[in-house]
Amino acid sequence: MTEINLSWPKNYNEVPKEAFVRKDIYAEEVKRIFHGTEWHPVAHESELPNPGDFKTFRLAGVPLLIGRDVEGVVRVFYNACSHRGNQLETAIMGNKTEFECPYHRWLFDSKGDLVGCPNPREFLPGFNKADYPLAQPRFDIYFGLIFVTLSAETEPLLEYLGDSQNCLRELLAGDGRLKLLGYQKVRYDTNWKSYTDNDGYHAPLLHQAFKMLNWQGGKGRQYTATHRGHICFESALSVATGPSVLKDKSLIEFKGQDPAVGSRIVSLFPTFVSTKHLDVINLRFATPIDAETVEVHYAYFAHQDDDEDMVRHRLRQSSNLLGPCGLISMEDASVFHRIHIGNHTPGSAIFQKGVHDPLKLESEFLQNDESGNLPRWEYYRSVMGFERATV
């Protein structure tokens, strides 16, 4: 680890804008956070429903191959040949029972074992294929959600999730038996922390849609679930009533089974955001590309028990409601860009709403409080080794 100097304000509700834009800080974040003791969701099992299905994903640059072997077991590998390190699979997703590296024709089965390599007699004396399986990062699965950590020291996954477990399980439809509907993928011109830092408080102010659709908000609960500042939102769904400007009201119709807590968000440190809103189930696999760019794969799901009508409803709602072109979220995407530009100015971003005492951290918040982000900022500060000022 490299010591990086950044003067952090005394008040918990202030975040120095330099943290969003300095390239030396970003390089250290990759080491301490993305390669450090965190669990990162990279896929849901339902993206790989059949034996041989696979998906590739790059986690802060590290290439991963996430596959279901011929016996149906989910496995995660580094997507690099165990010989010279050539990227093994180039497709984003597909179905294969064997992976062949084109460079020297090393062949791996779906369990990651090296099953063939030409002319091994010319290799080191004693060469044994069994010594060269595909390398694997640590991974674990929670209700189908596949997490990877690149550190041997990260605590077990359930401990990592802490009190966010229940909210996350319910968001995954209670049993994790999802069915993939498709993806919306986008790059935002913003630092990864600006991407995860901007939800909650702004909603009723930024989003004209809420007003025009007679949508009420702000009546839910927001809490931090661990010292890392994972955030859970649970709120009674406020379905729009009265006159609407929409001619096709099915976009904001709610057909689901969970009206008491119809809206959930689980945001896990560092970059994962997931939401269940109306009948949309959305997992956002995000990774930094560099200090100024974050790539987000919005994956949308139905439930395996949905009938045809419900799948169609979810498809129609998911495509048009959230994400980088969604009725109630397109403006968020624009704010990501603008806040990154604004962060190239001196001083701190200052959180106000829900802050009762700038010298104290709380863990329970109202739905639209921006102070819910402060525990994760305190965790970030401590992981990065930035000293908090005393005066």
Q: Which residues bind other proteins (CB under 8 A)?
A: 92-93, 180-189, 206-209, 212, 245-248, 251, 295, 300, 315-316, 318-320, 323-325, 327, 330-331, 333-334, 337-338, 341
- Measured from the CB atom, the residue of 54 and 269 that comes closer to other proteins is 54
Determine how β-strand 62-68 pairs with β-strand 74-78: antiparallel
Q: How many other CB atoms are found less than 10 A from the CB of residue 131? A: 9
Q: Which is nearer to other proteins, 40 or 340 (CB)?
A: 340
> Smallest gap, in angstroms, from Cβ of residue 155 to other proteins?
33
Minimum gap (Å) between residue 146 Cβ and other proteins: 18
Which residue number, 132 or 183, has a Cβ lying nearer to other proteins? 183
Nearest-approach distance from CB 296 to other proteins, in angstroms: 9
Judged by beta carbon, residue 62 or residue 114, the one nearer other proteins is: 62
**Minimum distance from residue 275 beta carbon to other proteins (Å):** 15
In the complex, the smallest distance separating the C-beta of residue 307 from other proteins, rounded to whole angstroms, is 16
- Nearer Cβ to other proteins (163/248): 248
> Closer to other proteins at the Cβ: 76 or 180?
180
Q: Which is nearer to other proteins, 300 or 379 (CB)?
A: 300
Nearer Cβ to other proteins (241/334): 334
To 5 degrees, how large is the angle CA 98–CA 101–CA 103? 160
We find the least distance from the C-beta atom of residue 64 to other proteins, in angstroms, to be: 17
Smallest separation, CB 366 to other proteins (Å): 24
Q: Token digits for 333?
A: 């995407």
In 10 A of CB 328, how many CB atoms? Answer: 22
Q: Shortest Cβ distance from residue 67 to other proteins (Å)?
A: 15
